[in-house]
Structures are given as C-alpha cells and as structure tokens.
Amino acid sequence: MNVQSAAGPGSVRNLEIWRSGIELVKRVYEITRAWPKEEVYGLIAQTRRAAVSVPSNLAEGIGRGTSGEAARFAHIALGSLYELDTLIEVAGTLGFATDDNLPGKITDLIRRISAFVQYQHTQRC
C-alpha cells in the first residue's frame, strides 16, 4: 500500500503520534535548559537529538510512501524513545531537573508507535 497516496501529501502532520513527538521535543528542550552548562555538548545534546529523532523518523518513513518504509522508520523512532527514556533516567540519577510525567509520556508514545507499526504491517498485504 502506498502511504503517501492513501493519506495525501503532508499527511505526517495529521498523525497524532507525530504531533505527540513534536510536543515531546518541546518538553525535552524546556527541561534540558535547566541542566548544567557543562553538559551542553554531552547529555543535553544527546537527549535533544534522541527526542528530535522521534518525529523526524516518523516523517521520513511516511515521506517514503510505503507501509513497509513507514514501519521501518517507526521502528527507528521507537529506538530513539528507548534511548530518550534512558537518558532522562541518567539525568535524574545525576540530580538534574526532570519532568516526573515524562517517562509516562514516553511509555505512552512507545505504545502508540508500536500500534502504528503493527497497523503498517497489516497494510503490506
């Protein structure tokens, strides 16, 4: 199935998981502003990169136009979410400011992207 033709150009903006990913990026940037400045090229950069990777990979997969590619890039986004969850845990362990709601939001997005992947797999037939 062709994802692009089924949903139309720009359809990634209509994906709730993509919009949630954008909100996650915004929250991660807000949180990391309070982290120690000596982490700007370390933990801050890595955490922000992992967060940005989530909606970026979802968009790239949709942009490729097939269900298989949408699923493949959504898997990459899932990996980034697991990385982000670990980085947030590390930051909390180090005593950096975190958002107590963030792990739950990450878990919820993992669940929703996993469902998206399963749906894309059913569309390949």
- Say whether 20 sits in a helix, a strand or coil: helix
pTM of the model: 0.89
Q: Which residues lie closer than 8 Å to 25 by C-beta, 6 or more apart? A: 48, 51, 52, 54, 55
Of 107, 90, 110, the residue nearest 44 (C-alpha) = 90
Place of tokens 């963030």: 102
Q: For 46-87, what is each residue's pLDDT tens digit? A: 999 999 999 999 999 999 989 999 999 999 999 999 999 999
Q: Does residue 125 carry a pLDDT above 90?
A: no
Domains of the chain and CATH, by start = 12-123 (1.20.1440.60)
Predicted pLDDT at 34: 96
9-55 pLDDT, tens per residue?
568 999 999 999 999 999 999 999 999 999 999 999 999 999 999 99
- Please report the pLDDT score of residue 8 as a whole number: 52
Task: State yes or no: pLDDT of 123 exceeds 90.
Answer: no
As a whole number of angstroms, the distance between CA 54 and CA 108 comes to 13
Higher pLDDT, 2 or 12: 12
pLDDT bin (cut points 50, 70, 90) of residue 6 is: very low
